[in-house]
Structure 1
Amino acid sequence: MQRQNSYTLPISEILSMATEALWSNKLRTGLTMLGVIIGISSVISITSVGQGVQKATEQQIQALGTDILQVFAGSARSGNVRQGLGSSSTLTWEDAKAIAQQAPSAQIVSAYLQRNAQVVYGGQNTSTTIYGTDLNYPEVRNTYPQSGRFFNEEELNTAKQVAVLGPTVQRTLFGEGANPIGERIRIQGEAYEVIGVMEPKGSQGPIDRDDQIFIPLTSMSARLVGNNALNGVSVNGILLKASNQEQLEAAQFQVTNILRLRHNIFPPQADDFRITNQADIANTFTNVVGLFTVMVVAIAGISLLVGGIGIANIMLVSVVERTREIGIRKALGATNSAILNQFLTEAIVISALGGGIGIVGGVMIAATAAAIFKFPFVVSPLSIIAGFGLSFSVGLLAGVIPARNAAKLDPITALRSD
C-alpha cells in the first residue's frame, strides 16, 4: 500500500516550527548567528565609516577650495637627507607678484611663510603654527576673522607687529569666550598686538586648522625668520586661486613657465619648486579611501563565509540529532519537500535574524565612530539592503545540503535511530 505524500504545510506553520526548533536550542542558535552578526556589522560599519571619512575630507577640501594651486619651494638637503617641501629658499614674494601679473588664469595670488613657534600670554603658553601672509590670504583660503579684523596694507608695508589668532590658540591662551583683541602676546620673544580672531575651520585629518596665528609676511620675514633669499622676501609657498576649476591646468602650465623663466631653469634641469592641484589631491584621497574601504569590506566578507560554514555545520549536526523526529514526521505523512522546507527555513531564519542584529550593530558602531572622531554619519540604504541580502543568501546556501540530507532520510531507518 503506497503512502500518500500530498499534504503540504503552509509557510506560516513551517516558520513557526522552525522558530520553535531554534528557540529550544538558544545557545547553539546564538553561537551560530554570531559569525553572520560579526560579518554583517563589519560590512555596514566599515562602509559607513569609509563614506563618512570620504565626505568629511571632501567637505574640508571644498572649504579650502578645489580651484586652488599650491606652489611649494624646493626641498633643502642636509647631507644625504632631503628635508620637506618648502625647506629651501627657492621662492620669493616677488615670484608671487609676478605670477599675479603675468598668469591670465590666476584670479588671486598669495604668498606665505610658515614656522612653528612658542607663543606666550601671561602664565599661558602654547606651541602653534605661525603664518606670515599678505593681504590676499583670507580670500584665497576662504577664511576670515569672526571678530576683530585682518591686518591692512599699511601694517603689511611697515612690518607692524600685529596678530590674528585661530580659535584654538585663543582658547588655549585666553580661555573659552575671552576677548583677546587689544592684548599683547609674545611670539619667540617678540611682542604682537592681537587685532582679530579667525572663524573656526575645524580639523583636516590630524591637522587642526584653528591652531594657527597670522601675522604680516614682512614682520615674520624680518623678525622671526630673517631674510634668507638673495633677492626679495623668501617664502615657503604660493597659493593661487583660479577663476574656476577648469582653469587649473592652464594656471599650472602658466605658473610653471613663469617660475622657470624667473629662476633660469632650462631643460634638462629639474624644477626648484613643486605645484600641487587641490582637485587632484581630493580625487586621489577619495580613490584611496574607496579602495581601502573595498579591501576591508572584502576582508569582512570572509567573516560572512565563516558564518555560512558555521550555519551549515550546525544544521548538519541538527539533522543527525533529530533523525528520529524526521522519521516520525515522515511516518505521519510529511513530504520530502516539507522536511526540506523546514530545515531550509531554520537556516534562513538564523542568518536573517543574525543579519538584522548585524545591521543594527553596524549602524550603532558607525554612529559611535562618527561621534568620537567628528566626521559625518553616513549610512547608505544600498549597504543595508546588500547586507541583509548577503545574510539571506548565506542562510539559503548554507542550509541547502543539510536540508536535502534531512529530506532524503528513509523513514524506517530514521525511526530505528537512537
Structure 2
Amino acid sequence: MIALKSIGKNKNRNFLTMLGIIIGIASVICILAIGDGFTHTMIKGMGNHNMRNKVIIQWEPTSDYNTDGGFTQNDASALAGIPGVDHVKLTSSVAEAGAKAQYKTKNFSIGLNKQPKHLKLVKGTYFTMTGASNGVYISEDLAHKLFKENAINRLISIDGTIYEVQGIYHIGSMEYRPDAYVAKTTFKQLFANQIIKDQAKIYVNDGASKKQIGKAAVKRMKQMGEEKKTGKYSVSNPDQISKQFTRILNDVTYFIAFIAGISLLIAGIGVMNVMYITVSERRKEIGIRRAFGATSSDIRNQFLIESVVLCVIGGIIGMILGYILVSIINAFLPFKAVITPYAIILSLSVSTAVGLIFGFIPSNKAAKSELVGLLKEE
C-alpha cells in the first residue's frame, strides 16, 4: 500500500518509466502467441500419431528411377513371423495419386484422393458417393483454373474419364488437401495402383520390446525383402519427427522473443534511473525513518518493493495490451495465435525480475545512507 501511494505521487513520471516495460511485455506476449499458434497449427496439420504397440518400417528407393517398389504381401508374412509381432498392415506414406484434369483446352496436373468422411463445401451439396460414381469434388483453386463461371454440374476429364463436379471446397493456407476427391470405389479401381505400399505397420504384443522388434524387422527385410535391391529399409518414428519440428519452431520463437525482450533491458535502466531520482527526493523521509529506528534492511526493502510494484504494474498492463494486440492480429493471420499460461507466467516473472535487478542498486544506496549525513542536509 505504501509503495502504491509513493508511485501515485508521481503518476506521469512513473507511467513513462513503465512504458518501456509495457511495450516490452506486450511484444513478448505477441511473439510467443504467434509462435505457439503457428506451431500448434503445423503439428495439427502433420497429424497425431498413435505409436502405442506399433512399429513402422519405411521403404525408400535408392534411386529416383526406382519408385515402384515397396512392401509386398510376402514381406508382410515374413515380418509377421518375428517373435512378439501380432500382425502387420501395409500402408502408404502418401495416399494421393497424380492425374491430369482437363476441361476443353485447359489441362492441369492434379493430386487426387478418395472421398473423406466429412468435407466442408463452399459450393454444392456434400453426400457420400457410392459405387463407381462419376462425381468429383474439386478445390476452389482448380475450379478457378478450369472454369471462369460456376463449376457445379460441369463435366471434366480426369485421366480420360468424365466426371461431374458435385461440389467445391476451400483449402486454407495452413492446411494441405489434394485438388480433387472421387468416390472410394472409383479411386480403388482407377488410381490406387499408383500408390506403393512403402510402409509396414507392425503391431506388437503387449510386453514385447518395440526397439528390438524394429531392429529385427529391418534386418529381416534387408535379408528377405523382395525390393531390397531397389531400396533401403529403416524404422520410421513420426512422433520423433514431430517433436524435433516442434523444438525447432519453439527455439526460433524464443530467440525472436529474446530479441524483442531486449527492450526490457532499456526499460530496466529507466526504472533504475527513476529510483535514483526517488531516493534523492526522499532523503528527508529516509532520515526521519532512520531516526525512528528503521534499519538499513527496512529502507532497502521499502524502495525495492516500490521498484518491483512499478514493474509488475507495467507487466500487467503490458499483458492486457498484448492480449488486445493478439486479438487484432488474429483477424489477419491464416492461423490462430494462442496466449499460453507459460507466456503469462514468463511475462510476470520477467517484469518482477526487472524490478528486483534494476531496483536493487538504488535501494541499496538508500539503505547505506548515513543518518548523520541525512540530518546535516536538513
User: Do the aligned partners of residues 362 and 186 (structure 1) sit closer, same or farther apart at CA in structure 2, a change above 3 Å counting?
Assistant: same
Match of 1:396 among 353, 356, 367: 356
Q: Which moved more, 1:100-109 or 1:330-339?
A: 330-339
Match of 2:88 among 106, 109, 115: 106
Match of 2:231 among 252, 261, 271: 271
Is the contact made by 1:42 and 1:362 (CA closer than 8 Å) also made in structure 2?
yes
- CA deviation digits over 1:173-218, x for unaligned, max 9? 799xx884x6421347x45314766998x66x85532544457477
Distance across 1 between alignment mates of 2:248 and 2:157:
42
- Counting only pairs closer than 5 Å after superposition, residues 190-269 of structure 1 correspond to structure 2 as 190-194=160-164, 206=174, 208-209=176-177, 211-213=179-181, 216=187, 219=190, 235=195, 238=198, 243=203, 250=213, 254=217, 257-258=220-221, 261-265=225-229
Distance across 2 between alignment mates of 1:126 and 1:64:
37
Q: Which runs of 5+ in 1 are unaligned?
A: 1-11, 77-86, 222-232
Distance across 1 between alignment mates of 2:275 and 2:14:
10
Is the contact made by 1:151 and 1:216 (CA closer than 8 Å) also made in structure 2?
no
1:352 aligns with 2:312: yes
Deviation for aligned residue 1:355: 0.5
- CA deviation digits over 1:5-59, x for unaligned, max 9? xxxxxxx3453133212x1xx2x43442233223323443343334333433343
1:326 aligns with 2:308: no
Is the contact made by 2:103 and 2:155 (CA closer than 8 Å) also made in structure 1?
yes
Distance across 1 between alignment mates of 2:130 and 2:55:
23
Distance across 2 between alignment mates of 1:206 and 1:70:
29
**Residue 411 of structure 1: SS of its match in structure 2?**
helix
Distance across 1 between alignment mates of 2:140 and 2:50:
22
Match of 1:49 among 30, 34, 38: 34
Tell me the matched-pair count: 348
**Residue 65 of structure 2: SS of its match in structure 1?**
coil
Is the contact made by 2:55 and 2:201 (CA closer than 8 Å) also made in structure 1?
yes
Is the contact made by 2:303 and 2:359 (CA closer than 8 Å) also made in structure 1?
yes
Report what 1:29 is aligned to.
14
Is the contact made by 2:55 and 2:235 (CA closer than 8 Å) also made in structure 1?
no
Deviation for aligned residue 1:351: 0.6
- CA deviation digits over 1:354-380, x for unaligned, max 9? 101221233334444555434455433
Match of 1:165 among 111, 114, 137: 137
Report what 1:88 is aligned to.
65
With normalisation by structure 1, the TM-score equals 0.62
Is the contact made by 2:55 and 2:203 (CA closer than 8 Å) also made in structure 1?
no
Is the contact made by 1:91 and 1:237 (CA closer than 8 Å) also made in structure 2?
no
With normalisation by structure 2, the TM-score equals 0.67
Over the residues paired in the alignment, what is the CA RMSD in angstroms?
Answer: 4.7
1:288 aligns with 2:245: no
**Residue 91 of structure 1: SS of its match in structure 2?**
coil
Distance across 2 between alignment mates of 1:237 and 1:285:
25
1:38 aligns with 2:23: yes
Report what 2:156 is aligned to.
185
Is the contact made by 1:96 and 1:109 (CA closer than 8 Å) also made in structure 2?
no
Is the contact made by 2:174 and 2:334 (CA closer than 8 Å) also made in structure 1?
no
Which amino acid in the other structure matches residue 74 of structure 1?
P
Is the contact made by 2:311 and 2:351 (CA closer than 8 Å) also made in structure 1?
yes
Report what 2:123 is aligned to.
none
Is the contact made by 1:144 and 1:198 (CA closer than 8 Å) also made in structure 2?
no
Distance across 2 between alignment mates of 1:102 and 1:292:
44
User: Do the aligned partners of residues 183 and 237 (structure 1) sit closer, same or farther apart at CA in structure 2, a change above 3 Å counting?
Assistant: farther
Which amino acid in the other structure matches residue 402 of structure 1?
P
User: Do the aligned partners of residues 299 and 349 (structure 1) sit closer, same or farther apart at CA in structure 2, a change above 3 Å counting?
Assistant: same
Q: Which moved more, 1:392-401 or 1:246-255?
A: 246-255
Is the contact made by 2:137 and 2:181 (CA closer than 8 Å) also made in structure 1?
yes
Which amino acid in the other structure matches residue 184 of structure 1?
L
Is the contact made by 2:139 and 2:168 (CA closer than 8 Å) also made in structure 1?
yes
Distance across 1 between alignment mates of 2:283 and 2:8:
16
Is the contact made by 2:214 and 2:235 (CA closer than 8 Å) also made in structure 1?
no
Is the contact made by 2:136 and 2:181 (CA closer than 8 Å) also made in structure 1?
yes
Distance across 1 between alignment mates of 2:316 and 2:72:
58
Distance across 2 between alignment mates of 1:53 and 1:60:
11
Deviation for aligned residue 1:128: 6.4
Percent identity, aligned pairs only? 21
Distance across 1 between alignment mates of 2:311 and 2:146:
57
